[in-house]
Chains A and B, each alone.
Chain A
């Protein structure tokens, strides 16, 4: 079974530019999550999709972040315009059920905003 994949693995952009991160969950997983880890700190929740619907977006930092999940398959996370504090590793995870089951993480996208 293919795992969660993310693209790109690394992205370096300048402040003010736009970046779009992509996540492909494990096939059949209705639940998709985005998390972010800023250097040396905890992994922080951003949002949770159930199929194509946003179940919980309480962790989204501000309106510069926009997440979509077209047709309940892959998801994109767009940052526009990027700021220096957006730098970090963005993880996507997917799971079969929304509670009490393993969330399978992708390898992450390392975003550096200069």
Chain B
């Protein structure tokens, strides 16, 4: 089955700096990659996603890049703000066959702290 590795486990930056979180996946059939943000005491929420037919996607200060050949994808946050502090999870899934269309395989999570 799919395995997703996420690094780093913790990331500390100063307000205004950029933050990058990287994930690698094992199943070359994976073709949908969402990123979830979980603030302290709240539920995970989708912040951005990317499909395998796209190399990069951007939404304001957040961007995701995908390298299918290397089987890795990254989250980039620019001009970080204290409210970006949270746990970030990458995930992967595939609709290539079988019945596991909805099953998300998550990375271990990255605790991002943005210092004012």
Which A residues have a C-beta under 8 Å from some C-beta of B? 3-4, 31, 33, 35, 41-45, 48, 55-56, 58-59, 91, 95, 98-100, 102-103, 105-108
Q: Which chain B residues numbered 86 to 116 have a C-beta less than 8 Å away from chain A?
A: 89, 91, 93, 95, 99-109
Chain B residues in 8 Å Cβ range of A98: 101-102
For this complex, 11 residue pairs linking A to B, each with C-beta atoms less than 8 Å apart, are A3-B43, A31-B102, A42-B107, A43-B106, A45-B105, A48-B103, A99-B93, A99-B95, A105-B36, A105-B43, A107-B42
- Pick from B46, B93, B105, B108: contact of A102, CB below 8 A: B46
Name the residue on A nearest B108 (C-beta).
A42
Known: A41-B108, A42-B108, A42-B109. A99 touches B46 (CB 8 A): no
How close is B100's CB to chain A, nearest CB, in angstroms?
5
A42 & B103 in contact (Cβ 8 Å cutoff): no
Contacts of A3 in B (CB 8 A): 43
Is the Cβ of B32 less than 8 Å from the Cβ of A99? yes
Task: Choose from A45, A99, A107 the contact partner of B43 (Cβ within 8 Å).
Answer: A107
Report the bound CA distance from A107 to B102 in whole Å: 19
Task: Tell me the minimal C-beta distance from B84 to chain A in angstroms.
Answer: 19
Shortest distance in angstroms between B97's beta carbon and chain A's nearest beta carbon? 12
Q: Which of A31, A43, A99, A107 has the most CB of B within 10 A?
A: A43
Bound: A103/B32 CA distance, A: 12
Task: State the 5 A-B residue pairs at the shortest beta-carbon distance, nearest first.
Answer: A99-B101, A98-B102, A43-B106, A99-B95, A98-B101
User: Would you call B51 an interface residue if the criterion is a C-beta within 8 Å of the partner chain's C-beta atoms?
Assistant: yes
**A100–B43 contact, CB under 8 A?**
no
Given contacts A100-B95, A106-B43, contact A58 B104 (CB under 8 A): no
Per-residue A-contact encoding for B1-22, CB less than 8 Å = 1, 0 else: 1001010000000000000000
Distance between Cα atoms of A103 and B101 in the complex (Å): 12
14 further A-B contacts with Cβ under 8 Å, apart from A59-B103, A91-B44, A103-B104, are: A35-B104, A35-B106, A42-B107, A43-B44, A43-B91, A43-B104, A45-B104, A56-B99, A98-B102, A99-B32, A99-B95, A99-B102, A103-B34, A105-B45
Complex CA–CA separation, A35 to B95 (angstroms): 19
